[in-house]
Structure 1
Amino acid sequence: MTGTQGPARTATGRTVARRTVVAAAGAVGLGAALVACGSDDDSSDAVAQTPAGDGANGAAGGGEVLAKTADIPEGGGKVFEDKGVVVTQPTAGEFKAFSAACTHSGCTVGDISNGTITCPCHGSQFDAADGSVKKGPASKPLGAASITVEGDSITLA
């Protein structure tokens, strides 16, 4: 650092070196950036584990037909962003549902293929059979959602 600036005075009259003020401002900025990035807190799990309801918390009401079984590819799945769920078919005839909100920062998951649900925001990957984390940065599994398969219809339970 160059220049001849001397120490700054605070409102209480204390003298503070300019370097201290700059370091403190940087720490505050870093903290704000980390909060904006998201976290692995339980807030997304609360929504993820309550898929039935009035839709006010991002989850759909019970009994609504989401898809036909033929719409969900084996080893893959489909994201229902407006309902906040992802439905997968890990093996032939077995259907699972999870919150579509990534547990890392709340982004909606995207691609579901080869038994893996991938979040496009930071690359987290989840197992399409049980929602467990296959690859971070997410450290918590996707919350389970309840579905019912009757005939060829998949509905939210």
Structure 2
Amino acid sequence: MPTVLIAPDKFEGSLAAAEAVGDGGSASADGGAGFLAGLGAQLLDAARSAVSDGGVALSSIASVDLAAALDSMDGVHLMLDSEVDNPLTGPKGTAAVYGPQKSDESEQVRELAASLTHFADVVAVTTRSDYRDHAGAGAAGGTGVAALVLGAEFRPA
């Protein structure tokens, strides 16, 4: 079961007081973009406008500013506990493995896979590290990759 942290505003700006919560599944596949945005990251298109939520919207992201999200995690040891060890992309990635469980539209699954790949490309340029193939990156619709970007330690459940 993937473990994520509750948003810092629930704890008066301090993640140090946050409890970990677990979720055995995910109803979304946005590569963790929503998790990052919730911590203050800016997901911008080519015109420097905020990108809308959702997996397919990831294809319009031109840049990611992680400064606020990284600042919010200062002093926090983040652990990604997950029974899911899938990568974010590829034949064993989030869209390929879990997409068909959520949708019988193969074109929709291909579109999501392409969007997740694009997002992974942008994140790799931003961070100068490529987390897409890391074990657990595909957990909870890709929230795993966001946790890894924030310095999480992956612990297989």
Instruction: Indicate the TM-score class for this superposition, using the shorter chain for normalisation.
Output: under 0.3
TM, length-normalised to structure 2: 0.25
Higher helix share: 2
User: Max radius of gyration: which structure?
Assistant: 1
Question: TM-score under structure 1 normalisation?
Answer: 0.25
